[in-house]
Amino acid sequence: MNVPLVPMATTDAPHAAIWRLEDDVLVEEGDGWRRLYGRWDKTFGCWTVPLPAEDPDTWVPFEPDWPVLGRHGTWLLPDGPHDESWYASRAAIAAYFSLIPLPIRRLVSSFGSRQWPLLEAIWRDPQVARTIDTEAQP
């Protein structure tokens, strides 16, 4: 599914960006950079690709250090006026995070800036979710 480029700033993200959802990744583009968020049902992770890309296959691992989910495991809504672009951005973000099972999103939601590394750990080894659920405290 391809969604057109739309301007968006997530609630806790430190910048505004242009987003689109593709078959394998959610693409976030800013001035001179691009981030790729791998889908839960494909290869989960986050990478930065410099622009202009001399080698578009050069993906540098990146770990978001801000919350990507709200208190109840829901995705954060885009900022800005509620125009057509806002709704398209919201749809792209919702489609992306809906691929992550709700119990997992709820489990990591209370961990603030540590949400992304926990999601990556759970994607690599689902047993991590059980460990977090029984032992870890936010």
Residue 28 lies in a domain: yes
| The predicted structure's pLDDT at residue 14 | 38
- Model pLDDT for residues 28-73, shown as the tens digit of each residue: 877 778 899 999 999 999 999 877 766 767 888 999 999 999 989 9
- Average pLDDT across the chain, whole number: 83
Distance CA 22, CA 131 (A): 32
Residue 113 lies in a domain: yes
Which stretch of DSSP H or E encloses residue 130? helix 127-135
Residue-number span of the structural domain to which 65 is assigned: 6-135
φ/ψ of residue 22, rounded to 5:
-115, 180
Residue 1 lies in a domain: no
The total number of structural domains that make up the chain: 1
Tokens 């609630």 found at: 11
Torsion angle, alpha carbons of 78, 80, 85, 90, to 10: 20
| The predicted structure's pLDDT at residue 16 | 60
pTM (predicted TM-score): 0.80
Residue 117 lies in a domain: yes
φ/ψ of residue 6, rounded to 5:
-140, 145
User: Would the pLDDT of 94 be above 80?
Assistant: yes
Contacts of 126 (CB under 8 A, 6+ apart): none
User: Would the pLDDT of 84 be above 80?
Assistant: no
User: Would the pLDDT of 11 be above 80?
Assistant: no
